[in-house]
Structure 1
Amino acid sequence: MSEDRTSVTGQISVVTGAASGIGRASAVLLASRGAHVVALDVNEAGLKAVVDEIKSNGGSASYNLFDLGSEENVRSTIKAIEKEHGRIDSLVNAGGITGPTGKQTEDISWDDFLKPLTIDLFGAIWITQAVMPLMKAKKYGRIVQVVSIAGKEGNPGMSPYNTAKAGLIGYVKGVAKEAAASGVVINSLAPAVIRTAINENTTEDTMKYMISRIPMGRIGESEEVAEMIAFMASPACSFTTGFTFDVSGGRATY
């Protein structure tokens, strides 16, 4: 029987944004495929719930309170995980915020513009910088940065979010080339609009616009995104790096 290269049995998988949405679905799926999941989020109740769910299904998981918007916290958390487990095999960075929606760029204050940049872009850079040396030392690693279709096409009324996600796509492309010969693979994943808590404050007009752009004519589900993430975080994703995968119902075909 051939080896199942999508298996992550025995691996240490770190998942940010794990208390809800795409992060939670990814944590549950990776644990079901054999990983020990370290769930990270600012929402402790949500973290406890996902860890309890994983353990009740026979999986292995733990959690750390975590703030993707704090460089100090990002770096210290990764150090603590490495000290406890000795390595990090995969990172799924699914944490983030949308920031202002339904606003023209000139109507957005700099503070409101900076929040998505800090969490969605700078936080992603900080955590990549923190895990990369650990993975290079082991000559193996998988990094998945959850970006957005907004980073490829742009959504009107969401210029801070568009900017952060487009910047992260560019960051992944360059870093992937730096790490390509080291055994570390880093890719990004651009979902279209997904049924998650991150969209609870998105304006109705913006939601209608985003769904109207999807040829399948519906919103996506977190579990659909998690299936792609589980592949990207596994040994099976071995000859693709620096790429932006899509889970967009046909909105993007490039």
Structure 2
Amino acid sequence: MNRIDLKDRAVVITGGAQGIGYAIGERVVASGGVVVVWDLNGDKARDAAARLSSASLGMGVDVTDIDAVSEAAAELDRTLGRVDGLVNCAGITGPVRPTVEYLAEDWQKVIDVNLNGTFNTCRHILPIMLKNDYGRVVNVSSVAGKEGNPNIAAYSAAKAGILGFTKSLGKELARTGVAVNAITPGTADTPILDGLTPEFIDYMRVRIPRERFVDVTEIAAMVAWLLSEENSFTTAATFDLSGGRTTY
């Protein structure tokens, strides 16, 4: 493993108690950073943080609740005085269902967690970064946000929205010390697959030229560099992790 220099950098990871978020946390800690795990389940967040390192913190935060996000960000500002990195990894797929059968409440929940949650955290973490004129934001989108997947329209729309938001925000902050980028991973074998049908999982697998799912450690490796000081020029960009499926 190449060691990216994140020494003493404080990185908030939403949805960091498991899956991709937790793997990113492991890579951040291995690179010398301090992880703050935000997860809807506070007990899971604290347990994950304890497993990552003694210096890591776990907080129960509902990213869809902008007041809760504001309070959590303010607490970090008081206790740490800085947030150097933010990884927006909290997400849900929602049901696999044709759009004409999709329930409005399911649509709203998927948009709230994936897209609105990303806005909420950026809205309240960015002022801390800008105060110190330094920060790295990585928004986790998906190949579904590039080309869409049938029967998960809400997820595809939310992930596409994250890409548009990233481009806009990165350009807004281009004259500051804050970089904002997105990644578009293909399918990884994580708990998020639990809500999908075997047929849909097979549909995604056969479309990957690498003929396998991406490993969470491969995602973490790319994110670690995006969080580092070495990523001093690139912003408002999208980094592909699709195994050749979406090469644009």
> TM-score, normalization: structure 2?
0.96
Which residue of 105, 108, 125 corresponds with 2:102? 108
CA positional deviation for 1:46: 2.9
Which residue of 18, 41, 48 corresponds with 1:20? 18
CA positional deviation for 1:122: 0.6
CA positional deviation for 1:141: 0.5
Name the counterpart of 2:215: 221
Q: Does 2:116 correspond to 1:122?
A: yes
Name the counterpart of 1:74: 69
Aligned-partner SS, 2:247 = coil
Within 1, Cα distance between the matches of 2:166 and 2:17? Answer: 24
Within 1, Cα distance between the matches of 2:180 and 2:3? Answer: 17
Which residue of 186, 189, 192 corresponds with 1:192? 186
Aligned-partner SS, 2:59 = strand
5 Å matches for 1:16-55?
A: 16-55=14-53
Aligned-partner SS, 2:56 = strand
Name the counterpart of 2:135: 141
Within 1, Cα distance between the matches of 2:7 and 2:195? Answer: 37
Within 2, Cα distance between the matches of 1:43 and 1:250? Answer: 35
- Number of residue pairs matched by the alignment: 247
Which residue of 153, 156, 160 corresponds with 2:154? 160
Q: Does 2:165 correspond to 1:171?
A: yes
Aligned 8 A contact 1:28 1:50 in 2: no
Aligned 8 A contact 2:8 2:34 in 1: yes
Which residue of 224, 237, 249 corresponds with 2:231? 237
Q: Does 2:58 correspond to 1:60?
A: no
Name the counterpart of 1:83: 78
Within 2, Cα distance between the matches of 1:46 and 1:249? Answer: 31
Q: Percent identity, please.
A: 36
Name the counterpart of 2:6: 8
Name the counterpart of 2:242: 248
> TM-score, normalization: structure 1?
0.94
Query: Where do 5+ consecutive residues of structure 1 fail to align?
Result: none
Within 2, Cα distance between the matches of 1:51 and 1:125? Answer: 24
CA positional deviation for 1:5: 9.3
Within 1, Cα distance between the matches of 2:239 and 2:137? Answer: 13
Aligned 8 A contact 2:64 2:120 in 1: no
Report which stretch shifted further, 136-145 or 44-53. Answer: 44-53
- Encode CA deviations 1:123-153: one digit per residue, 9 max, x unaligned: 1001111111211121110000001110001
CA positional deviation for 1:70: 1.2
Aligned letter for 1:236? E
CA positional deviation for 1:45: 4.0
CA positional deviation for 1:248: 1.1
CA positional deviation for 1:98: 0.6
Q: Closer, same or farther in 2 for the Cα pair 1:5/1:235, shift >3 Å? A: farther
Aligned 8 A contact 1:5 1:234 in 2: no
